């Protein structure tokens, strides 16, 4: 599953440097695991949805293997009404009594006689509801009609059919659906028969038997879907949508065809099904979901017009497609044993998603995006409330909170570091060995790293256990170089200055030193290591290519040497790593914010958009967190204007010869100077570009047009709000519609902030989107207080628009407050108005507020001193 991370134009001006995504911390909970005395082997499932009445009925047979005599069988069921339950087991068919445990979401079928060990068949007739909660079997709506669709990960298959809803209970499925004559259906298998009836105006679609698979990967979708079709390596590939958007499916199909061939070669194991469908759904909570052979997506994550799409949208769609397709092997073909190892699914897919896209589009410089993402993950992992990659998860709420940036980002970064240490081909062979040993089965973390250790003959098991089992990441403090060696100390790194690391906590991990322009020499750091061998090099840099999952501290002389060579001696990825490392030192009060801004000044002419983006992300955080008075804001804006506006002008107007990097760099700088530099010239330029883009999106570079829209909106009036709202309501293009909706939440005028929130509470905004509309204005100091007051005042309407995922997002964004009274207010409000699956997000938000309070207290005097020194250059 790909987490939905809402985005407007992705520039440094709008990427939060204070990462406040919810994290899971261990809590006491009632265990909800099923007994293992009865194991399913095969399901036969017929579903009959009624899209008008929003209900469905089901007829189900489950073949089970009973390991020892039992008087009852317990499985999962939620929001299911049972009509009858019988069992056949070496004798007459016997009716069962249904005992429901709503808290555990379980149903127990009790029988008067003991069921003998061996095979048995459960027969179940039941009904259910097509809910509006974007989980289970639910309704997805357009202005024309309803669709019946599914989202089962992690624990919601039980809302569609009674089942053994745990990943280790794999079984084969035979699925059929009875649907209206004018509709079709999509499921994991191919359609093998289509027969009229039963009843007038109906037909029955029967699908091919699936491989052994987990319940959370089942999908069935009903409606008038339209598709474009292709083929790759003998596999039929379709990209499907509602009929009005089928013209937007070709881009995704081309990506999918390339990715399938790439993965077949990489894994050395062919895609195991005869078909692969990618389906865009109007209402979908996650970004995408890797259902085996029937991947579902938010429309924005699959459907774009490449002629008018921005560069970021093209990249995002390609990466999300690659992420979900990687799951077809890592997650679907081989599945984690239990949710505490969900990182095996999500971390691997996060690490893998870039490989085929880099091969297809090397001009996008995606390795630099990976380097930037790692910096944000390291910052997140430096919070006291972070968790280990592998953590306790027993209840549905706990499991839902496992899908965070630790499971995705940190796990992916750790895999990247280990791959860099072993070598790409050795690591690939280890991946193949792991998959081949567990085809159609379940596996643990130990299975994965033991396979890597066996192939590489290196202590991958000890390295991975060190990184997976404990929270946080180390900072490596290097001493003076002597005789080809460098002294090193490791301790856990925290972003705040008051958290004290446990001296016992140590890591085993590879440290790769730069040797030559692109070379590296890697040494293994153990808990007892005091010195490391270093290669001969012109200067000392201890994170070659920026792929190490750790922070570094250098002697003043070595750090000065690095800064002096940052543009000539370091690769772009290493520049991103060094910049992120210095920012972390500032946050932890190990460095002065003025030193960071001097480093940014040294980077200002860097030609790489991602390098500039990483540097400027933290510049905007400084504006939001440290420029607290109007005069400080004016002075800092003036510095941004005079430092970066000349570089923007140097790039010149849009040209047909522009590279993708140049297009993105121009947009980054326009957004920064227009939003934070307060340059009247640039704001006027943005307004002209935005008007042109709104009138005819094909008339200008969409990447620049979208940046201009953001700047113009932040300075917009009521007439501009009306125009953006009208554009949102009129557009059928998912990318543009999403952009326009997010823009409505970025107006700065108080009356328009209130208007945008009222609009988000209305039926004009889908509940998959509304939570983000409430969250966006909480990120800006200009709109935060007014937005929070409105949210609290209208809480019943706000809560009605939230989903399980957006509960956590909204709570997380209260972490942008930066005062003790605000912290207390947030804490009290959510104590009185708790949201499901958001308790960890609240803990982390409160911690983020504490961190901002400390950051401001420690660094604001340094910031004022730096500002004063700049006045001579104005």
Tell me which residues are annotated as active site. Answer: 324
Nearest to 289 by CA among 323, 255, 258: 323
**Region for residue 94 given its phi and psi (left: phi exceeds 0; alpha: psi -120 to 50; beta: otherwise):** beta
Hunting for tokens 């999300």 — which residue is that? 320
How long a stretch of residues is the chain?
874
Here the tokens at position 737 are: 């519609």
DSSP state of 163: B
The residues, any chain, with a CB within 8 Å of residue 455's CB and separated by 6 or more, are 426, 429, 430, 433
- 3-state SS class at 284: coil
Q: Which ranges of 361-492 does DSSP label H, i.e. alpha helix?
A: 366-381, 396-400, 411-422, 424-437, 445-456, 460-468
DSSP state of 138: E
How far CA 510 is from CA of 270, 416, 462, in Å, comes to 32, 11, 11
Nearest to 222 by CA among 121, 305, 315, 296: 296
Residue 771 burial by Cβ neighbours in a 10 Å radius (0-12, 13-18, 19+): buried
CA 459 distance to own-chain centroid: 30
Nearest to 153 by CA among 313, 315, 349, 432: 349
Half-sphere exposure of 161 (CA within 13 A, CB side): 28
Residue 517 burial by Cβ neighbours in a 10 Å radius (0-12, 13-18, 19+): exposed
Hunting for tokens 């070496």 — which residue is that? 90
C-alpha span between 403 and 412 (Å, rounded):
13
Residue 174 burial by Cβ neighbours in a 10 Å radius (0-12, 13-18, 19+): middle
Which residues, in sequence order, are bridge partners of residue 81? 127
- What ranges make up the beta strands (E) of 67-161? 70-76, 80-88, 94-95, 97-101, 106-115, 118-129, 136-141, 146-151
């Amino acid at each position: 599953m790909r987490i939905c991370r809402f985005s407007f134009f992705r520039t440094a001006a709008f990427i939060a440097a204070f990462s406040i995504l919810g994290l899971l911390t261990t809590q006491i909970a009632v265990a909800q695991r099923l007994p293992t005395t009865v194991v399913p082997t095969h399901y036969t499932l017929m579903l009959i949805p009624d899209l008008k009445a929003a209900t469905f009925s089901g007829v189900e047979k489950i073949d089970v293997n009973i390991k020892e005599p039992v008087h009852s069988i317990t499985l999962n069921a939620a929001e299911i009404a049972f009509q009858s339950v019988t069992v056949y087991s070496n004798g007459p068919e016997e009716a069962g009594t249904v005992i429901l445990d709503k808290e555990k979401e379980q149903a127990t079928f009790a029988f008067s006689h003991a069921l003998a060990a061996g095979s048995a068949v459960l027969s179940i007739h039941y009904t259910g509801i097509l809910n509006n909660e974007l989980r289970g079997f639910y309704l997805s709506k357009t202005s024309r009609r309803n669709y019946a669709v599914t989202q089962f990960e992690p624990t919601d298959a039980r809302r569609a059919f009674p089942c053994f809803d745990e990943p280790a209970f794999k079984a084969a499925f035979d699925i059929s659906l009875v649907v209206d004559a004018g509709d079709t259906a999509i499921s994991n298998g191919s359609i093998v028969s289509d027969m009229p009836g039963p009843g007038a105006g109906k037909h029955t679609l029967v699908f091919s038997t699936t491989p052994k698979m987990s319940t959370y990967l089942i999908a069935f979708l009903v409606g008038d879907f339209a598709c474009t079709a292709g083929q790759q390596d003998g596999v039929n590939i379709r990209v499907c949508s509602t009929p009005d958007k089928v013209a937007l499916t070709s881009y995704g199909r081309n990506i999918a065809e390339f990715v399938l061939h790439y993965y077949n070669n990489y894994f050395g194991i062919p895609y195991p099904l005869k078909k692969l469908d990618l389906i865009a759904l109007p209402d979908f909570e996650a970004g995408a979901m890797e259902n085996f052979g029937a991947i579902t997506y938010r429309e924005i994550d699959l459907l774009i017009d490449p002629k008018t799409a921005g560069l970021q949208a093209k990249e995002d769609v390609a990466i999300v497609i690659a992420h979900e397709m990687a799951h077809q092997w890592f997650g679907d073909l081989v599945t984690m044993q239990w949710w505490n190892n969900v990182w095996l699914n999500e971390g691997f897919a996060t690490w893998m998603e870039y490989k085929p896209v880099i091969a297809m589009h090397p001009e996008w410089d995606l390795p630099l995006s990976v380097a930037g993402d790692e910096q944000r993950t390291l910052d997140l992992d430096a919070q006291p409330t972070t968790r280990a990659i592998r953590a306790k998860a027993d209840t549905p709420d706990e499991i839902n909170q496992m899908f965070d940036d630790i499971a995705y980002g940190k796990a992916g970064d750790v895999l990247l570091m280990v791959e860099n240490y072993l070598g790409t081909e050795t690591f690939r062979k280890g991946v193949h060995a792991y998959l081949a040993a567990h085809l159609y089965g379940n596996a643990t973390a130990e299975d994965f790293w033991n396979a890597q250790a066996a192939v590489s003959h290196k202590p991958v098991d000890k390295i991975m256990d060190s990184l997976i089992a404990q929270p946080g990441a180390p900072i490596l403090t290097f001493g003076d170089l002597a005789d080809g060696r460098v002294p090193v100390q490791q301790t856990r790194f925290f972003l705040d200055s008051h958290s004290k690391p446990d001296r016992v906590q140590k890591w085993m991990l590879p440290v790769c030193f730069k040797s030559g322009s692109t070379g590296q020499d890697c040494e293994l750091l153990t808990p007892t290591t005091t010195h490391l061998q270093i290669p001969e090099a012109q200067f000392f840099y201890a994170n070659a290519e920026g792929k190490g999952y750790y922070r570094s501290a250098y002697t003043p002389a070595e750090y000065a040497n690095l800064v002096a060579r940052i543009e000539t001696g370091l690769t772009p990825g290493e520049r991103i790593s060094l910049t992120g490392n210095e920012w972390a030192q500032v946050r932890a009060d190990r460095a002065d914010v003025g030193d960071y801004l001097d480093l940014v000044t040294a980077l200002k002419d860097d030609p790489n958009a991602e390098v500039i983006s990483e540097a400027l992300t933290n510049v905007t955080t400084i504006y939001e967190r440290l420029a607290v008075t109007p005069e400080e804001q004016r002075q800092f804006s003036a510095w941004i204007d005079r430092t970066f506006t000349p570089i923007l002008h140097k790039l010149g107007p849009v040209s047909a010869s522009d590279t993708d990097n140049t297009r993105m760099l121009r947009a980054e700088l326009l957004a920064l100077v227009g939003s934070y530099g307060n340059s009247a010239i640039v704001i006027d330029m943005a307004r002209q570009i935005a008007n042109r883009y709104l009138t005819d999106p094909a008339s200008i570079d969409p990447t620049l047009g979208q940046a201009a829209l953001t700047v113009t909106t932040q300075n917009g009036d009521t007439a501009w709000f009306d125009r953006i709202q009208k554009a949102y309501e009129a557009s059928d293009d998912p990318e543009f519609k999403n952009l326009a909706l997010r823009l409505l939440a970025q107006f700065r005028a108080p009356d328009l902030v209130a208007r945008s929130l009222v609009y988000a509470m209305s039926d004009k905004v889908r509940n998959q989107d509304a939570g983000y509309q409430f969250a966006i204005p909480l990120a800006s100091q200009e709109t935060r207080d007014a937005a929070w007051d409105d949210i609290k005042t209208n809480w019943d309407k706000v809560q009605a628009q939230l989903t399980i995922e957006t509960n956590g997002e909204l709570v997380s964004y209260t972490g942008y407050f930066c005062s003790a009274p605000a912290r207390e207010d947030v804490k009290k409000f959510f104590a009185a108005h708790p949201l499901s699956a958001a308790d960890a997000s609240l803990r982390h938000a409160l911690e983020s507020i504490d961190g901002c309070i400390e950051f401001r207290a420690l660094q604001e005097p340094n910031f004022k001193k730096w500002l004063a020194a700049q006045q001579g250059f104005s």
